[in-house]
Structures are given as structure tokens and as C-alpha cells.
Amino acid sequence: MQANGIDPSTGFLDRDSCLDLLGRLASSAAASRQMLAALWIDLSRMKQVNESFGHLGGDMVIAQIAQRLREKSAGRGEWCRMGGDEFVCLIPHCDAEHARQLAQDLLQTIEAPIRFGEIFLHPSASIGVAILEADEDPFVFLERADRAMGTARRQGGGRAVASGEEPLPGRLGVLLAREELRIENQLHLALENGGLSLHYQPIVGFDGRIEAVEALMRCTVDNEHIPPGKLIPVAEKTGLITRLGEWSLLAGARHASHLNNAGYRTKVAINVSRAQLSSAKFGQALHAALLCANVSPELIELELTESLFMDISETVQANLHTARTAGVGLAIDDFGTGYSCLANLKDIPATKLKLDRAFVIVLPHDRRAFAVVKVMTQLGRELGMTVVAEGVEEQAQLDALREAGVDAIQGYIHARPMPEDALLEWFRKRSAA
């Protein structure tokens, strides 16, 4: 079928010719101290196309995409077809920046719909980018591009990943990626089978008032509990975090309404992610939740994760103001560690400051930590915020926090997170006492 090392459907070099060429280009790049870039492109869903339209149909799609790739790269690189739906482009004199730009351009050109008989196909691809390093074996170099492509695919495809940017290369990386895929799958199941629930942990003021209850997500699929530490990073990577966040908004708001109807007028604090707050639709989603739950906005508080502090964009600012204008409270979570930054405090119209548990666990013995807590508390108060300490487990910690001027406490010393019904019972017992 193949003549002169050329793949007949695409006109690209075949695999063997590609490896020959790779050796030659790598030697010449090394000799002249020039750059050499490799892009490894994997088309998504070709198996599906082949199954639906036969291999002839698949070949037609491949040929059309190959044509687009050739046009887009405009003679800058050597194109090779490595296998059914995988291509490699070797580009001499190309640095990382240009390679990445080209990868983005190629993704775009691949994604234009292809009219195929009676339907439109929507192709997409994953691209791995590598730059030849000094003294690097050319095959190792190509393998790095392949591995980066694998990472792009595991991250959901439709993207380019440069070698070296993968979270963890090697066997461990592969195992972790598999685990992530599994969790992603569990998450989809949870979202369609009612596997999500919220547990609530009370935040109790030193005056005895229930300051709020924090809603914490629980995910159970097939009797397996998936801890938030595993769940949230995967949800963030796959974009499912927005859906989880919106689900929590409505579920939490409904619970606030339930509590209020049962005579317990307590705020429900709901965690919102950076992805949610970066969306122009956040305001509409928040209002939709308030509306569906028929709850007064004063009974809702949004807990802002610390990663939000990395970049407070105009959209985030606008969304926070929308929430405040609606009457919803804003709490800054995990304050004092990570990305928290004093400069950001003035930009966020927050109503509550939650001190990170890292300060609490060393109390009362660590007097320096105590001093920091005291100052942060004063700062929060000056800015008109209620100050809460998280992770309080012992009486001595509680006493120290009272001395530091903290307003309210969240932690096992008062109650563990509990399901809706148990929380209601907790309220009942408390009011009876």
C-alpha cells in the first residue's frame, strides 16, 4: 500500500520515514546548535468515526484534517503519520513559544466541523509539544512529545501540553492519571444518581449564638466515599467544579430555607470555587438558586477559597459585588496561609474572616502564633468582619481564641459535620437545653 515511505491517505511520511528523518534533523540541529520542536497530535474519537462510517469514512476524515494541518503549518514542518489517528510534526528552528503557538493554531483548525454525509463531525485533538534538549536521544525527545500528548488527552483533550509541564511523568504519573479518570467517572455517576450530599458543621459564637453552618460536600458512589481532597482537584481539572458548585448552591440554599421554616434562622455557608466566580454567569446562577430555594439572601454566605486570591479579576470583583448587593455574605476561608494576601483584603467586600486551622492547632503554647491570631482578629474587626477560627478541638485552644478576641469557633469541640437530619436534631437538643 505504501510507496517511498509516504502514507497514501495523507501524503505525510510514514512511521519509519519519520524516525529516519528524526535522526537526521536531530543531528543537524545539534551540529548547528539550532532548535528542533516536535508536536505529537492525537485525534479524538476516530474510533467512533471508524465504527460509524467504516475505515473508508475514517480515512476521508483523516485526509481532510491532514490537509488542514498542512495548510496551517504552511511548510514550516515535516509531517508524519505515526499510526491510525496520530501525527507528528517535526519543526526545525522552532523554539518553545512558537511551537506552543503553532499547536494552538492547529487545535483551532482541527476543531472546525467537517460535513460528513448527513451530519457534521466535530473533530478535536490533543497535542504534546517537546523541544530537543542538548545531547538528548532523538527517540527520548519524541517520546516526551508523545507523553505530553497523553497528558493533554487525560486532561480532557482539546488542548496542547508542553513536555515538562506534565504534573508527574513516569509510572506514578500514569497511575495517578488513571485514578483521576476513575474519580471523574465516579463524579459523573454521582451527579446523575444523587451521589452528592451536603453535611453541615455549626460555627458557634462565644455569645452562644449559632453564627452559621458550613456546608461541606460529600460524594458517595457505589458505597465508596470519595473524600473532598480527591474530588475537588479532579473536579477543578475537568471543569465539573462549576456544576458541583451550582448544585451545592441550590442544595445549601434549600437547606437554609428548611432550617428557617423549622424555626432556626441560621446562615448556611456554601463553598464557591474560583471557576464559578470567574464565570460571567455566576450572578444568574446565584440568583437562580436563591429563587428556587425561596430563601432570604441574608441566610446565605459564600465561602471563598484561598486560590481566589491568586488573581482577582474584574469578573470576580463584579460577581462578589453582585452577591453583596443581593445581601449574601462573603467569608474568606483559610485566611493567613497560602495565597492570602493583605493587599487583597481591601478589594474583597467580605463580611467574615476565617482563620486557618494551622494557627489554631499550635495554640495555646505557641505565643507567636497567638500574637498573629490576635493581630489578624483586630484587622478583621477593623474591616467590619466577623472573625472565625476553624479546626478547634480542645478547650485550651478555645480559651486562647477567646482571649485573642475571635468571635466564633468552628470545630469538633462543638460539633462534627453532620447530615441534614442530624443537624436539625442538634439544633433541637441545643434549644431544649
Partner 1 sequence: MTETTETPSTSPFDAMLEGSLKDIGIPPRPLILERISHEMLQPEPDYKRLSSVISADVSLSASLIKTANSPFFGYRGRVRSISEALMMLGLDVASRAIAGIILRQAFPASPHFVRFWDSSARIARLSGWLTQYLGNHKLRPDDAYTFGLFRDCGIPILHLRFPDYPTVLAQANEEARLGFTAVEDAKLPTNHAMVGCLLAQSWWLPEELCLAIRHHHDATVIEMPAFTPPPTSRYRIAMAQFAEYLLQRHTGLSHTCEWEKLGTACLRLLNIAEDEVDGILAAAVPVIEAEE
Stretch in the footprint of partner 1 (CB under 8 A) among 255-263, 329-337, 359-367, 388-396: 255-263
Classify 433 as helix, strand or coil.
Answer: coil
Query: Rounded to the nearest whole angstrom, what is the least distance from the CB of residue 316 to partner 1 in the complex?
Result: 18
Cβ nearer to partner 1, comparing 15 with 258: 258
Cell matching residue 109: 483548525
Query: Rounded to the nearest whole angstrom, what is the least distance from the CB of residue 287 to partner 1 in the complex?
Result: 4
181 belongs to the binding site for partner 1 (CB under 8 A)? no
Stretch in the footprint of partner 1 (CB under 8 A) among 17-25, 200-208, 258-266, 353-361: 258-266
| Alpha carbons within 13 A on the beta-carbon side of 93 | 4
Count residues binding partner 1 (CB under 8 A): 45
Query: Rounded to the nearest whole angstrom, what is the least distance from the CB of residue 18 to partner 1 in the complex?
Result: 29
Site string for partner 1, 265-304 (x = CB under 8 A): ----------------x-xxx-xxx-xxxx----------
Query: Rounded to the nearest whole angstrom, what is the least distance from the CB of residue 331 to partner 1 in the complex?
Result: 22
Handedness of CA 270, 275, 278, 283 (dihedral sign): negative
Instruction: Check whether the bond before 202 is cis (ω within 30° of 0).
Output: no
Determine which residue in the list 9, 104, 109, 124 makes contact with partner 1, applying CB under 8 A. Answer: 124
Handedness of CA 247, 251, 257, 259 (dihedral sign): negative
CA dihedral 361, 204, 300, 372 (to 10 degrees): -40
Alpha-carbon distance 83 to 62, whole Å? 11
Cβ nearer to partner 1, comparing 231 with 355: 231
Query: Rounded to the nearest whole angstrom, what is the least distance from the CB of residue 49 to partner 1 in the complex?
Result: 13
Query: Rounded to the nearest whole angstrom, what is the least distance from the CB of residue 7 to partner 1 in the complex?
Result: 26
Whether the CB-CB separation of 18 and 40 falls below 8 Å is answered with no
156 belongs to the binding site for partner 1 (CB under 8 A)? yes
Query: Rounded to the nearest whole angstrom, what is the least distance from the CB of residue 145 to partner 1 in the complex?
Result: 23
The rounded Cα 105 to chain-centroid distance in angstroms is: 24
Determine which residue in the list 7, 85, 246, 306 makes contact with partner 1, applying CB under 8 A. Answer: 246
53 belongs to the binding site for partner 1 (CB under 8 A)? no
Alpha-carbon distance 197 to 201, whole Å? 13
113 belongs to the binding site for partner 1 (CB under 8 A)? yes
DSSP string, 187-207: HHHHHHHT-EEEEEEEEEETT
Whether the CB-CB separation of 92 and 144 falls below 8 Å is answered with no
Query: Rounded to the nearest whole angstrom, what is the least distance from the CB of residue 238 to partner 1 in the complex?
Result: 10
Task: Give the 3-state secondary structure percentages of the chain, helix then strand then coil, rounded to 5.
Answer: 50, 20, 25
Determine which residue in the list 254, 267, 352, 357 makes contact with partner 1, applying CB under 8 A. Answer: 254
Query: Rounded to the nearest whole angstrom, what is the least distance from the CB of residue 202 to partner 1 in the complex?
Result: 18
Cβ nearer to partner 1, comparing 112 with 168: 112
Query: Rounded to the nearest whole angstrom, what is the least distance from the CB of residue 89 to partner 1 in the complex?
Result: 22
β partners of residue 126? 42, 159
Place of cell 528523518: 21
Place of cell 467544579: 241
Classify 148 as helix, strand or coil.
Answer: helix
Helix axes 170-193 and 240-261, enclosed angle (nearest 10): 40
Whether the CB-CB separation of 387 and 380 falls below 8 Å is answered with yes
Cβ nearer to partner 1, comparing 190 with 332: 190
Cβ nearer to partner 1, comparing 244 with 332: 244
Query: Rounded to the nearest whole angstrom, what is the least distance from the CB of residue 83 to partner 1 in the complex?
Result: 24
Stretch in the footprint of partner 1 (CB under 8 A) among 73-81, 205-213, 252-260, 355-363: 252-260
**Nearest by Cα to 385 from 376, 394, 393:** 376
Instruction: Give the DSSP letter of residue 391.
Output: -
Whether the CB-CB separation of 370 and 404 falls below 8 Å is answered with yes
Cell matching residue 36: 528542533
Cβ nearer to partner 1, comparing 117 with 164: 117
Cβ nearer to partner 1, comparing 294 with 313: 294
324 belongs to the binding site for partner 1 (CB under 8 A)? no
Instruction: Give the DSSP letter of residue 133.
Output: P
> Which residues of the chain form contacts with partner 1 (CB under 8 A)?
52, 111-113, 118-120, 122-124, 156, 158, 188, 191-194, 222, 239, 243, 246-247, 249-251, 254, 257-258, 261-262, 281, 283-285, 287-289, 291-294, 326, 420-421, 424
